[in-house]
A and B are shown apart, each in its own frame.
Chain A
Amino acid sequence: MSEAFVLARTEDKAVAHGMVTEELNAWYGRMHALRNINLTIEPRQVTAMIGPSGCGKSTLIRCLNRLHEVVAGARVGGKVLLDGVDVYAPGTDPVDLRRRVGMVFQRPNPFPTMSIFDNVVAGLKLSSRQGRQRMAEVVERSLKQAALWDEVKDKLNQPGTDLSGGQQQRLCIARALAVEPEILLMDEPCSALDPVATMKIEELMRSLREAYTQVIVTHNMQQAARVSDFTGFMLMAEDRAGELVEYGRTDQVFTNPRDKRTEDYITGRFG
């Protein structure tokens, strides 16, 4: 895969983007889902969120791109700063934010009525941004970034759902990359995939590191250890609210955790 394609982004080549959460809280109706999360997403690094099921990892990253509030009755408190600017400030456009902070979901979800080509450019076509003219270029660039180009370049007009699970997930990644986000969030992107497809996606994450800031939620500790630079460990407290127990460089968290609960989780005593 050519380096040139990774680096040939039409915007923000030199700027690295990071996020910080300050006392982030989230509720689903009355249920407190996240408590006082203070987290730093370092630019051009891969940050992994690990923890047992239900600890709030997915809720946390959905707060980062304001997808949490789409659920009826859901609420957010605290601040989330993207390059120093609070994305929850009144007057911020969540639609624009979500273009800048992209997301890939656990189950691949290509648009069923669209071809592979249309899927990749869906974000561009549907949000009335410029770029209509060079769509074929965008498709090739995004599919190459997602390591899918060679497998689909001869069948771009076939339905997006005709691909295997792993290919569909890479298509979704290509679709997310096509709008050139500043940050890429991935919510357990490999949990619905077989080991070979998982390996390809992990390689992909490594190759994207230079151009993108990535956050990955995973329940697979080994995966977190393999791909990430920073790791955050979360736990569900007694009142079912998720808390950030520990956060630091991946090698430190996994070899020398500061909190006993982290150590217990990592060594498999629970979770």
Chain B
Amino acid sequence: MPASFREVIETAQKEGAKRLAISFPGKKDIEILAEAAGAGLVIPCLVGDGNPIESMVSETSLKSLKHEIVEEKNQQKALGQAIRFVRDGRADMLMQGADTHQALMDAILDTKNGLRKGKLVSYISVFELPKQGKLFLVADTFINNSPTLAEKQMILDHAIRLAGILGIAAPKVAALAAIEQINLNIPSTLDAAILSKMSERKQFGSAVVEGPIDIDCALSEAPALRKGLRSAVTGKVDIYLVPEVDTGHLLAEALVFFGAMQAAGAVMGTTKPVILNIPFVSEANRMVEIAMAALMCKRGETNA
């Protein structure tokens, strides 16, 4: 089970290089891809305006590594082409290039030509916790604004699946809310309680979901005991399920900016892995995201 981002990359390297499609890559994208190709993780397929791409490639180690450049000067068409490559199996994964998040998401979610697998696509953040030698996940931190209970169930399924890909077989889940008691006026506490009950009935397999639970009890056993909360989850959380995106996005950012925690993440719910440009993920950690995408490919299907 990978205990660090370094180990995620090392595990993925054993799987052999995957074919990665990207439309309109920028200089930084190509530098990252050069590193990933050098590490044996990917064979990049660069779709876009050939001359500038070739020029950027020539300035990196990618020039002497296996790669492909596909000429398409129109950015929108290039994105469609890259997605088509992934759909048709010519590529194993898609990485965001110069396209905006909205343009990319619209293209991915397109029911006819996109990569959506199920009813919902989510983004799960993964953080490194060196002191405890483990990784933990926060779901959803980017895509779903105000998920309903049914959508939270799907997001949680995605997070549990990603945890499994990362070697966490029976994840401990904190369904977060402002308080640890059920308050009929606080919807997050009701959703968390229902998910917790579903977990008791094994509707999330071997995952253990505790909720509602506030962050202090989730993070540490001592405050939980002071509040009379005894649970296998307190202080040992693998997955934090947040109530909505205001909380998820800001929580992920807070861990990065105040805690200097290393963050990566994965899009879940697509037919093939998709790697987004998330601002609170550093350029260096996009290698980790590529590695996670490669591990998803190993499963044969990704994540919905």
Q: Are A and B interaction partners?
A: no
Contacts from A to B (Cβ < 8 Å)? none
